[in-house]
Amino acid sequence: MTELRTELTGPGLRWGILATGWIAELFTADLRTAGLDVAAVGSRTAGSAKRFAEQFEISRAHDSYEALCADDDVDIIYVATPHPMHAENALTAIAAGKHVLVEKAFTLTEAEAARVRDAAIEAGVLVMEAMWTRYLPHMARIRELVASGALGEVRALRADHTQSLSTDPAHRLNALELGGGALLDLGIYPISFAWDMLGAPVEVRASGRLGETGADTEVATVFTHADGAVSSTLTSSRVAGPNTASVLGTEARIDIDSVWYTPTSFRLVDCEGAVRETWTSEVEGRGMQYQALAAERFIAAGHLDSDLLPIDETVAIMGTLDEVRRQIGVSYPGE
């Protein structure tokens, strides 16, 4: 697998930010850290777009998502709306000929994800899931160690993403009409990690607890992968756990410290308990710039897909999330 360079330089695409919430603020701050060109922002209201533009010194503020997508001075759009809007927003951008980076979870369902993928292929533009963890330097090194055989035969993986978040029924995380539930918001991280390390699961088993609104608050999964390796994940929006992860092989294991899906440290530990390698991340900002730099490099090279998270894999992961939801009894309005 080709690893990405991590220098903070890019070919100079002009970014448009679609939506002005918390995650859009974090992403835009990291784009600025990387010296990338943030050309425009779009919101559903002129006031919100103007405030965001002033905060990040963006020259153009649009009072609708459609206007942002129609902006001729924008090359690539970051979609930062809630999950149920991702497909519609991405399709609008694609129809305008823009490349698109879509915040995770990519869509609500596999069917929506497939529609977005197919539209991007037909339009000849890049569409990519913003699973920023895959592009972080410590994850690049972990993939190198696994590929080199340093762990021996990789047989198991475990990871949790557990936070104590709002219990307000109207909060986005708890509202089914807004794609609420711990799985799509938090569980996507360890599940995508299991795919990254072990490949597609051939057997999916899941158990969960639903909250007052019918949205999931806890989800545990056990996957069996093609070579017989197993992975386990735990997700919760009501309890704060260690947020660590491990990849276990016959010769050694990798222990990733909290918070494992952000820039952090890890250790390569052999079967006798000796530490063979220690990694400490030194990343400016939150680290979301690495996925943006990767998108710019793919486009500059004429590659309209990610080599670290191909769009077909994103669609298939959404299928896994559909199956987990089926097993725990969660469905969204309109499904």
pLDDT at 22: 96
Neighbours of 143 (CB within 10 A): 16
Rounded mean pLDDT, 51-66: 98
pLDDT at 4: 33
How buried is 164 (Cβ within 10 angstroms: 0-12 exposed, 13-18 middle, 19+ buried)? exposed
Residue limits of CATH 3.30.360.10 in the chain: 137-282+317-328
pLDDT at 3: 33
Position 115 pLDDT exceeds 90:
yes
CATH code: domain 14-132 is 3.40.50.720
CATH code: domain 137-282+317-328 is 3.30.360.10
Rounded mean pLDDT, 18-29: 98
pLDDT at 9: 43
Long-range contacts of 261-264, Cβ-Cβ distance < 8 Å, separation of 24 or more: 261/133, 261/161, 261/189, 261/190, 261/193, 262/133, 262/136, 262/286, 262/287, 263/136, 263/137, 263/138, 263/287, 264/138
pLDDT at 6: 37
Residue limits of CATH 3.40.50.720 in the chain: 14-132
